[in-house]
Amino acid sequence: MLESLSNHLEKIIRKQGDITSFLVYPLLIIVVYEVAMRYVFNAPTTWAFEATTFLYGLHYMFGLSYADVHGAHVKVDIFTSLASEKVQAILSIITNLVFFMPVTICLTLYGMKYAYQSTLGLEVNSTSWAPPIWPLKILMALCLVFLLLQGIANLLKDINSLKQQGRKVTP
């Protein structure tokens, strides 16, 4: 049951990561366009820098949960790697519940709050281009939801691992 739910959550995260990885292509196109406009035609745009910042920011935010599902975040496991699988699972559960979950829940709630307020005010960026930024804030809140879901999947996987360790019979 726990493993099935964990796998389902991870499948969602992998799919969103596969889809949002394509954000790199419009980012590349805009950068090449801006470089050509600036250095070939001596006519820089007013919007390209902001657009690339927005796209890169979204690419980064969507990548948080995707990196976590693949175990790509930096870990300092000098001591835990020497421990048994059971102790590793216990430590992982504790750190998830004490550090990861509270921080991620707070970030997600505040992200949703700011996205809601931004959407109500139809917030735009305070630059000469003045693009709407409320859709970006909604997407950033969604990225935090994905990160929270991945944290839940990790927690369920660790609990399941601990249960499996308890079922093993030592000779």
Single pTM value for the model: 0.88
Q: Do 75 and 91 meet the contact criterion of CB atoms below 8 Å apart?
A: no
Residue 29 to residue 33: CA distance in whole angstroms: 6
Number of Cβ within 10 Å of residue 89's Cβ equals 21
**SS3 (DSSP) at 43:** coil
Across the strands, what pairs with 132? 124
Query: Which tokens go with 12?
Result: 């969602």
CB atoms within 10 A of CB 97: 13
Per-residue pLDDT of the chain (171 residues; tens, 9 = 90+): 788 999 999 999 999 999 999 999 999 999 999 999 999 999 999 999 999 999 999 999 999 999 999 988 888 888 888 888 899 899 999 999 999 999 999 999 999 999 999 999 999 999 889 999 999 999 999 999 999 999 999 999 999 988 887 776 555
